[in-house]
A and B are shown apart, each in its own frame.
Chain A
Amino acid sequence: MSSAIVVRDLRKSYDGVEALRGISFEVGEGEVFGLLGPNGAGKTTTVEILEGYRSRDGGEVSVLGHDPGTPPRALRERIGVVLQHSEFQPLLTVREAHRLFAGYYARPRDVDEVIDLVGLQEKRNARVKTLSGGQKRRLDLGVALVGDPDLVFLDEPTTGFDPAARRSAWEMIRALRSLGKTILLTTHYLDEAQQLADRVAVIRAGRIVKLGTPAELIGDTRGTEIRYRRDGEPAVIETEDPTRVLHELTSEALAAGHELEHLEVRRPTLEDVYLELVDGDDEDGQ
């Protein structure tokens, strides 16, 4: 698999404060890569350098074979961008906003097809200013896709969504992946990274503290946790052999005729790992 994005030892400071302290990662073609971290960790700075918005102070960066520090038009033809905050002309309709952007690209997709893809068909002729927050995010995504990009940047695509809107946004992002698009996603939602990303880089205070598939991040070292309450006190058993341990536990309880209150069997989630990784002082919340 060749790389859509290569980042080596990327550095950036704002007014002497180091926002990025040497970040390296690669994103393969067709991969969904998640940058996960708390606010101020350096996610948006990283993405905005890759999108060509910000200059870098050090390191090497390649996006689809181009240096985004001096982005040629050919690169802009092939990327789609969903910014954390952006607005469109509030007086245009959804269809007009898509048509406007379609006009910027050499080989745009069919405007109505894209509107259907992002689920705005009911709002095709509605003015942008009448859309809800979630619908505006769909518009962001539709407009980012209308140029038929190979690489899509999604900077916190579901921040501020209600749970139902998030689920449907996730469905759309999965649909993008099935179209073969490479996706770089930033998020501070762990479940989002876990649900969507093939690989995740956990970033904290300008450094990548962990990189791997969600499964790798969780690791095989930690076993399964069995939790229950005994005489009102919480009890936790960590085991590599959950079937046997659970069987023994429930057999004993059955024989003794008492209930295992609050019985719970769980694998550590990415959240447990994440909280361990990002726990501690946030050195440079920017």
Chain B
Amino acid sequence: MSLLVHQLAFEQRVFWRSREAAIFIFVFPLLLYALLASVYSNDIDGVPSADVLLAGLFGYGAANTAFAGLAIILVGRREAGVLKRLRSTPLPPATYIAAVLLSTLVVFALQAVALVVLGTFAFDASLPANWLGFAGAIVLGVACFAGLGVGAASLIRSAEGVSAVVNVIVLPMAFLSGSFGPTQNLPGFLEVVADVLPLTYFLDIVYGVYLDGESLHADPTALGVVAAWGVAGLAIAWRRFGWMPRER
């Protein structure tokens, strides 16, 4: 336990010291929210756009922090030999992974709070209708997208390519699932893609808890799809995750 706290403290220190990570992962969703909320001022389906976008950017933040951020961190460390070096210490691998995941959760929880603060003060957005459900959504989002992030890290070979690969996945996914505003009249095949993306279902849950005050498990299908994606990522990680650099 104390080892977990020890590692978590260092993970946090490294994260906040890294300006690139802190800006790309923490500040970027806030910036996008401020931009989009300034541009769209009308109601969306009878709900103030500041609220809908807040929920949307919360979903994008989960994918960006837990999926993209985690994959970038893990592949970078693996290729630099950081993971390999850790493997010969008495630090149990499970403790290390747990600390990295918890650190991701801390970052995303702070980001979620920052989004709410920014939304309410600058754009007059509502507070979460169901606080407990909102807290649950933070954990659920990190669990699902971190599972996918570790899975992606297991498949991506190069530290140079990882950032491009995850962004090519995250940005279109966020757009298609409506993070940046509801999508209308998508061509048929994109509609099909949007209908299987985890972020689409995660956003349904977020809308539920944030805007309508529903419980986290109000939509069992959505919860099931989100969980299934997370488990699929973990299954890939279980088979393919490696501690040794791939490229040397």
Which A residues are closer than 8 A to B by beta carbons? 51-53, 73, 76-77, 79, 81, 83, 85-89, 91-92, 96, 100-101, 103-106, 147
Contact = CB atoms under 8 A, between A and B. Distances in A.
Closest 4 A/B residue pairs (Cβ): A86-B81, A87-B80, A103-B6, A91-B17
Contacts of A88: 82, 85
A101 B248 contact: no
Contact of A86 (B10, B14, B84, B92): B84
B3 A104 contact: yes
B18 interface: yes
Contact of A76 (B13, B81, B89): B89
A73 B6 CA distance: 18
Nearest to B87: A53
B244 interface: yes
Nearest to B248: A85
Interface residues of B, number: 22
Contacts of B14: 89, 91-92
Contacts of B87: 52-53
A106 B90 CA distance: 9
A194 B7 CA distance: 41
Contact of A103 (B3, B82, B92, B244): B3
A104 B14 CA distance: 17
Contacts of A91: 13-14, 17-18
A interface, over-half SS: loop
Given A92-B10, A92-B13, A96-B13, A87 B82 contact: yes
A86 B85 contact: yes
Contacts of A103: 3, 6-7
A202 to B, nearest CB: 25
B138 to A, nearest CB: 26
**Could you say which of A83, A101, A103, A105 has the most chain B C-beta atoms within 10 Å of its C-beta?**
A103
A154 to B, nearest CB: 13
A56 to B, nearest CB: 16
Contacts of B81: 83, 85-87
B88 interface: yes
